[in-house]
Chains A and B, each alone.
Chain A
Amino acid sequence: MSIAQKIKVLIVDDQVTSRLLLGDALQQLGFTQITVAGDGEQGAKIMNQQPHHLVISDFNMPKMDGLGLLQAVRSNPATKRAAFIMLTAQGDRALVQKAAALGANNVLAKPFTIEKMRAAIEAVFGALK
């Protein structure tokens, strides 16, 4: 079993199309355990019930945004060590700094390539293959 197959990933994005595209990209990278959530609140709920190793979350979402979810994940002892990659449609320095201060592992600007996503994940988990 490859590393990618062992990692449970949670995708959090309010846009259906973005979730589909990201899920597709992750499958191409070899991930098989993928869960999706439509906003931060739902993402936090899933993480509380069933912690995932890696959270890839959009920033701009209704109910709870990506920073709120990051805070929730980091403040729960059961999930605080999960890797967290934030996605943003607007490349914004202030957001990157906030995300870094709250413990994000990486911030990727959309649209990103699959290779960029691979590099961001491998920076945390090591080579996927």
Chain B
Amino acid sequence: MSADIQFRRIHVIQGEYKVTNDPEVVLSTILGSCIAACMRDPVAGVGGMNHFLLPGQGTGSGGEATRYGVHLMELLINGLLKQGARRERLEAKIIGGAKTISGFSNVGEKNAEFAHQFLSDEGIRVVGSNTGGDVGRKLEYYPVSGRARQYPLSGAETQKTVALETAPPRIVVPKPADTSIEFF
């Protein structure tokens, strides 16, 4: 007897991250130049995905864009650790970063480079990577099993996705609570 699992779909938009230990959840997103980092701890059975785009300028070390990318990676990692993951067991898949506008500076490639550099610096194992190319992707990630499936977008869909990705504001920083306190 077999029963088809009805997966509950959760969409991850640019600037967001989602973490879950529900085996019946599939995380999905649509990527043009953007990158999605999918991470999981196979022992704890928890996984998650983020979705970010660092603007073309300032992706060098120390720039605001890098800080933003690091922030979204940290939110994802912290979210996983909170649900019982251990940093040393994390494994990652990096998807996206298409070169979608010919003649433009290759933002997608820089984003992919950033993600790989980050994971290498943090000692997080990359178990799968599919970046670059000329067309965008629709991505589905099963956070508990770690399975990732991607579907290429058509040229028109890719252009539409990139237009949405690069529409201002380009950096959507999750608004933190007013945390500033001063005693002096």
A91 to B118, CA, bound (A): 23
- Summarize A's interface: helix, strand, loop or mixed: mixed
A26 to chain B, nearest CB (A): 11
Partner of A111, one of B173, B175, B180: B173
Could you tell me if B62 and A91 are in contact, using CB atoms closer than 8 angstroms? Answer: no
The answer to the question of A113 belonging to the interface, with a C-beta cut-off of 8 Å to chain B, is yes
Partner of A91, one of B78, B121, B179: B179
* With contact pairs A15-B74, A110-B74 given, residues A96 and B177 touching in the complex (Cβ less than 8 Å): yes
Other CB < 8 Å A-B pairs besides A28-B62, A107-B179, 14 of them?
A14-B87, A16-B121, A16-B122, A17-B70, A17-B121, A21-B70, A88-B176, A90-B78, A91-B177, A106-B181, A106-B183, A109-B179, A111-B71, A124-B184
A15 to B90, CA, bound (A): 14
Q: Which A residues between 89 and 112 are near B, CB-CB below 8 angstroms?
A: 89-93, 95-96, 99-100, 104-112
Residues in A neighbouring B64, C-beta threshold 8 A? 111, 113
Residues of B that sit less than 8 Å from A by CB: 61-62, 64, 66-68, 70-71, 73-75, 77-78, 81, 87, 118, 121-123, 173, 175-184
Q: Which residue of B lies closest to A97 (CB)?
A: B181
Residues in B neighbouring A17, C-beta threshold 8 A? 70, 73, 118, 121-122
A16 to B73, CA, bound (A): 12
A24 to B62, CA, bound (A): 7
Could you tell me if B176 and A91 are in contact, using CB atoms closer than 8 angstroms? Answer: yes
Could you tell me if B182 and A106 are in contact, using CB atoms closer than 8 angstroms? Answer: yes
A65 to chain B, nearest CB (A): 11
Q: Which A residues between 1 and 57 are near B, CB-CB below 8 angstroms?
A: 14-18, 20-21, 24-25, 28
Residues in A neighbouring B173, C-beta threshold 8 A? 111
Could you tell me if B71 and A89 are in contact, using CB atoms closer than 8 angstroms? Answer: yes
A54 to chain B, nearest CB (A): 13
A1 to chain B, nearest CB (A): 23
Residues in A neighbouring B67, C-beta threshold 8 A? 21, 110-112
Could you tell me if A96 and B74 are in contact, using CB atoms closer than 8 angstroms? Answer: no
* With contact pairs A24-B62, A109-B177 given, residues A123 and B182 touching in the complex (Cβ less than 8 Å): yes
Residues of A that sit less than 8 Å from B by CB: 14-18, 20-21, 24-25, 28, 60, 62, 88-93, 95-96, 99-100, 104-113, 123-124
Residues in B neighbouring A104, C-beta threshold 8 A? 181
Could you tell me if A21 and B62 are in contact, using CB atoms closer than 8 angstroms? Answer: yes
Q: Which residue of B lies closest to A58 (CB)?
A: B74
Partner of A90, one of B75, B121, B183: B75
Q: Identify 5 residue pairs between A and B in the complex whose beta-carbon atoms are under 8 Å apart, listed by A's number.
A: A15-B70, A21-B62, A104-B181, A105-B182, A106-B183
